[in-house]
């Protein structure tokens, strides 16, 4: 039979500072993602195209090439 021992977890101040640093890093990443998203939206608005349409057009154009290569 397995023996079950109690495990006690002690949170030190060091743990709290690491947690604070990780939270700050996540906040910075979220802000960077928002800036990148805004930049991409402004670029696609300038070009008058949507990224989804470009990807769909490229995928549709690649299908006949793939069929020809296998034949």
Query: Which pLDDT band holds residue 70 (cuts at 50, 70, 90)?
Result: very low
Each residue of 6-46: pLDDT tens digit?
888 777 777 788 889 999 999 999 999 999 999 999 998 88
Tell me the pTM. Answer: 0.46
Tokens of 54: 């470009």
In this structure, the chain runs to a length of: 71
């Amino acid at each position: 039979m397995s023996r079950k021992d109690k495990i006690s977890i002690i949170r030190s101040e060091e743990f709290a500072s690491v947690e604070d640093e990780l939270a700050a890093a996540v906040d910075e990443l979220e802000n960077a993602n928002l800036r990148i998203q805004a930049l991409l939206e402004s670029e696609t608005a300038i070009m008058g195209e949507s990224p989804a349409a470009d990807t769909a057009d490229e995928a549709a154009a690649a299908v006949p090439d793939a069929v020809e290569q296998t034949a």
